[in-house]
Chain A
């Protein structure tokens, strides 16, 4: 009897790549504009848009927590997958080590985000 086919884990990584790619395509440019340019430079938005009390309240809210977690984790998984698959194109053999490094950093970032969001409390 033949051994059953080994199930591939590729669909999981591909789904995370797709979800992160979609989320960053839809909201990425505006998020970068808001957090990286508008707020630091005082453009367009009120000066206290990202003040401590406001951001704390946002991160303590269930929806806010979920949003922050989804953005950070999915962006990381999207980038990790894309960078991993581009290694071959720039002449780096993408073996197990590279896979562990790429997906491992995404996993580490996801865990740090989860830890911080739990530490912030509800």
Chain B
């Protein structure tokens, strides 16, 4: 055993000291809501496979205020995920060259957000059309 006890700087709460990393941790943290929401859907799917009574029980459980609060938080988290996903996209995808010029990052971000908005509205319209 070495007798040396070199000083090792603590890394506790390192990300709280810099707003950039706070934002990073929040956008990584949206994954917890994505996972939890997928879990809710998976439970629903499983209940659907068990028959009508099981499905209706799951549907009734969703009206519980705790579930409503969870889904409100999940809506915020997933919207933030959408925003950061496309904000980061210029750096995660290969450069797009249009007419010899590199496409600016904000165009990719704005384009992605516009597509996401269209996809969301399209989904709502589709569900509305199928349900009525």
Contacts and interface: CB of A to CB of B under 8 A. Distances in A.
B11 A36 contact: no
A113 B38 CA distance: 10
A29 interface: yes
Interface residues of B, number: 53
B132 to A, nearest CB: 5
B15 A89 contact: yes
A41 B77 CA distance: 20
B8 interface: no
B116 interface: yes
B7 interface: no
A50 interface: yes
A31 interface: yes
B31 A82 contact: yes
Interface in B52-67: 52, 55-56, 59, 62-63, 67
Contact of A32 (B31, B74, B127): B74
A26 B131 contact: no
Interface string B39-77: 111101110110010011001001100011011101100
Interface in B111-132: 112, 115-116, 119-121, 123-124, 127-128, 130-132
A37 B115 contact: no
Contact of A36 (B42, B70, B115, B130): B70
A83 B31 contact: yes
Contacts of A49: 127, 131
Nearest to B120: A30
B124 A29 contact: no
Contacts of B63: 40-41
A39 B131 CA distance: 11
Q: Interface centre among B25, B34, B75, B131, by most A CB within 10 Å? A: B34
Name the 9 nearest CB pairs between A and B, nearest first.
Answer: A36-B71, A79-B35, A82-B31, A30-B120, A75-B38, A28-B78, A25-B85, A49-B131, A116-B49
